[in-house]
Amino acid sequence: MFSLMRNNVAAVSTILPSYFDVYGRTEPPGPEHVPTSYLAGRPEESFWSLLRKDETALRGFGVAMRTTSNGSEALRIGLIWGLIPIRS
């Protein structure tokens, strides 16, 4: 879960100024030319095509999706706070 957040939120946020310089502050026209593919240096690819090429990232994505869909702490109290289990 942490690596998914690091790779798709923290790392992507560092390149947003240059991404916006290139594409402007508009929604991407399709699944390609998105911040994650821009960060990877392959803007012509989609997030999903990049994920399929990286077995470790694909496995981590699957774990994160299963974790959040099972009603876990991460889903109950939010993705960020889910990293630190808080018991009520």
Q: Give the number of other Cβ atoms within 10 Å of residue 31's Cβ.
A: 12
Range of the domain at 43: 2-83
pTM for the whole thing? 0.67
Query: How many angstroms separate the CA atoms of 37 and 48, rounded?
Result: 9
What pLDDT, on the 0 to 100 scale, is given for residue 71? Answer: 60
Dihedral class, residue 25 (left if φ above 0, else alpha if ψ from -120 to 50, else beta): beta
What pLDDT, on the 0 to 100 scale, is given for residue 61? Answer: 82
Q: Give the mean pLDDT of 2-15.
A: 77
**Does some domain include residue 88?**
no
pLDDT of residue 4 exceeding 80, the answer is: no
**Does some domain include residue 43?**
yes
Query: How many angstroms separate the CA atoms of 43 and 22, rounded?
Result: 11
How many structural domains does the chain have? 1
Q: Give the mean pLDDT of 21-27.
A: 93
Query: How many angstroms separate the CA atoms of 24 and 10, rounded?
Result: 20
What pLDDT, on the 0 to 100 scale, is given for residue 60? Answer: 83
Q: 10 pLDDT band (50/70/90 cuts)?
A: confident
**Does some domain include residue 60?**
yes
Condensed to tens digits (0 to 9), the pLDDT of residues 32-84 reads 999 999 999 999 999 899 989 988 888 888 887 777 666 655 555 555 555 55
10: Cβ–Cβ under 8 A, 6 or more apart, which residues? Answer: none
User: With contact defined as beta carbons under 8 Å apart, do 10 and 36 qualify?
Assistant: no
